[in-house]
Amino acid sequence: MASAIMNRASSSSTMRSISLYAALRIRNYAKVANGSDIVSVAPNVSLQKARTWDEGVSSKFSTTPIKDIFKDKKVVIFGLPGAYTGVCSSKHVPTYKDNIDKFKAKGIDSVVCVAINDPYTLNAWAEKLQAKDAIEFYGDFDGSFHKSLELVTDLSGALLGTRSERWSAYVVDGKIKALNIEEAPSDVKVSGADTILGQI
């Protein structure tokens, strides 16, 4: 796969960096699949909802258990390599933000974005994208959630270290009904809003 990606790269430095970003990672296969109970796979994991530092202090740095995000709810969740990165900002998040009314019309209780970032960075990024009112952003600050699901990838070649795969899922009361994982972190081919809308 890496050689195919490298062969498609153009001579421009931008395309070379994107290809290198994709080629340097090792593709892992997720522990979860359609039918998996996401709460059982990550039973003791909590995430941190995007917030300012002052909000973190006032809440005594509270966290949200995974079960509270999914129990008795229809949730669309998508993971991405990181806040402020190019594809995540320009292509991935906007597909969900621009389609939030369609998700609500299908009975989705919440659309969640999760990344291996601290909640303060995610908060600033969500505000910059003007997406915080539509999407719930959560920080998986130490990668526990993604590691439990085996949805991590090594992006050290792009100076990002351990990061989330680019993925999406439709989850009903904790059970995964549809799961989409990109082959390369620079792709938004199967993890965008259009794909998951067709799976609900």
Catalytic residue numbers, as ranges:
88
* Token couple for 178: 């549809």
Instruction: Round the CA-based radius of gyration of the chain to a whole number and report it.
Output: 16
Question: Coil, helix or strand for 139?
Answer: strand
CA 107 to chain centre: 21
Residue 128 phi, psi (nearest 5): -60, -40
Q: What is the DSSP letter of 199?
A: T
Q: Are 134 and 96 in contact (CB under 8 A)?
A: yes
- Indicate the helix (H) or strand (E) that contains 65: strand 64-65
* Token couple for 36: 């998996």
